[in-house]
Amino acid sequence: MFVQEEKIFTGKVLRLHVCTMEGAEWLEEVPEDTTVEKLKERCLKHCVPGSLEDPKTVTHHKLIHATSEKVLTDTKTVLEENVQDGDVLLLIKKRAPPPLPKMADVSAEEKRKQEQKAPDKDAILKATANLPSRNVDRTVAHHNMRDFQTELRKILVSLIEVAQKLLALNPDAVELFKKANAMLDEDEEDRVDEIALRQLTEMGFPESRAVKALRLNHMSVTQAMEWLIEHADDPTVDAPLPGQTPSEATDEAGASSAEATAGPSSEGGEEEAKDELTEIFKKIRRKREFRPDPRAVIALMEMGFDEKEVVDALRVNNNQQNAACEWLLGDRKPSPEDLDKGIDTNSPLFQAILENPVVQLGLTNPKTLLAFEDMLENPLNSTQWMNDPETGPVMLQISRIFQTLNRT
């Protein structure tokens, strides 16, 4: 009767499939309160007879739950490890730990590390004691780099004026500049990813907010969605981005409609072509207007700077936030007004550039004008135009002439 009561109160029996790396497979029936260590001993008795004579054999093996790929803990029960009836377990021998290195090997390794160790300050001073000292004024070097950027911008401003005058002499000037204007319309910075915008609007976000979120987060749907959720209750969520005005789109649409409704005149065809060319020049220049990085504007305004001076700082420093911060905290030179001034057309530098045959030929190409305009708006695109087969040779000659005359 006692045995029967014991059987009644025995835990649930689980039927487990056990496999080894050698391909052996069998069925083990164990109560759910059996420890993993006991189960491991039973498995070793089955697959390796006599292996338990060495007590280390159990510790040198492990049981792995095949579905979860979890190594079962020896001290826990099968129930605690959440093993279910019919589960598959793998019996695997543990990897032997790497042998400890011999003392001779340790000494050789330490010696090698010492030989490869970088010299300390005293060793450097001793090795360079006899070298002539050179004092480099880092402040001057920094201003020289800034002067280079400023002068290059002045060169581009003056070259744009020359290129426009040369291209205006071309009989097909209007068509050429219409193409240049169309190329500017394809600017990736102004376009919003339609697929990304559709995904956000289908989630229920207003289109205007979705556009703003995508522009702030570089067209990333995930980051834009997080921004929209985070700013859902923000009263300024629908405010235009810094540096942009709500009337931009209206002005652009007005300009387009005015151009479309302008009818041809029967008299003064040449004057009409000049007027149309002037309007296209104005549109290209209007598209060249600086657009600050919204994230940088917000970050700098949070430091306490006014929005106008932040935009000026980013314009002077090519949308680079750290450089703009230094400009705001420093002497604020060059000023934003200096950026729109061209180089002295009578200077030796500008004359040398205009006398270069490659530059002369390039100035008659509308793509060169477009490259100059683009680099003024976004100097980071200079590399793209340097690699272009049409504009690259022109930029290379300008750079060489500048560097040559700058050394003299």
Tell me, yes or no, whether 250 lies in a domain: no
State the average pLDDT over residues 154-172: 81
In whole angstroms, what is the distance from residue 308 CA to residue 114 CA?
A: 57
In whole angstroms, what is the distance from residue 375 CA to residue 293 CA?
A: 16
Tell me, yes or no, whether 137 lies in a domain: no
Q: How many CB atoms lie within 10 A of CB 258?
A: 10
Tell me, yes or no, whether 24 lies in a domain: yes
Q: Compare 278 and 19 and report the one with higher pLDDT.
A: 19
Q: Which of 332, 351, 381 is the last residue of a domain?
A: 332
**Which pLDDT band holds residue 141 (cuts at 50, 70, 90)?**
very low
8 Å CB contact between 116 and 43: no
- Give the Cα-Cα-Cα angle 272, 276, 173 (nearest 5 degrees): 100
Q: Highest-confidence range of 216-220, 320-324, 371-375, by mean pLDDT?
A: 320-324
**56-112 pLDDT tens trace:** 777 888 888 888 888 888 888 988 888 888 888 888 888 877 777 666 666 777 777
For residue 18, give its domain range.
13-93
8 Å CB contact between 393 and 362: yes
Q: What is the CATH number of the domain that holds 17?
A: 3.10.20.90
Q: Compare 408 and 358 and report the one with higher pLDDT.
A: 358
State the average pLDDT over residues 364-389: 78
Query: What pTM was estimated for this model as a whole?
Result: 0.41
Overall number of domains in the chain: 2
Copy the structure tokens of residue 194: 């339609």
Q: Compare 226 and 8 and report the one with higher pLDDT.
A: 226
In whole angstroms, what is the distance from residue 43 CA to residue 64 CA?
A: 13
- Using only C-alpha atoms, the chain has a radius of gyration, in whole angstroms, of 38
Name the amino acid, one letter, at 406: N
Q: Which of 311, 332, 353 is the last residue of a domain?
A: 332
Tell me, yes or no, whether 319 lies in a domain: yes
Tell me, yes or no, whether 25 lies in a domain: yes
Least confident of 20-29, 145-154, 156-165, 389-398: 145-154
Long-range interactions of 175-183: CB distance < 8 A, separation 24+:
176/366, 177/277, 177/280, 177/281, 177/284, 177/366, 178/280, 179/366, 180/280, 180/284, 180/366, 180/367, 180/369, 180/370, 181/280, 181/283, 181/284, 181/287, 183/370
State the average pLDDT over residues 297-316: 87
Tell me, yes or no, whether 306 lies in a domain: yes
In whole angstroms, what is the distance from residue 81 CA to residue 74 CA?
A: 10
Tell me, yes or no, whether 163 lies in a domain: no
Least confident of 31-45, 247-261, 351-365: 247-261
Q: Which of 280, 307, 332 is the last residue of a domain?
A: 332
**314-356 pLDDT tens trace:** 878 877 888 889 989 888 887 777 777 788 888 888 899 999 9
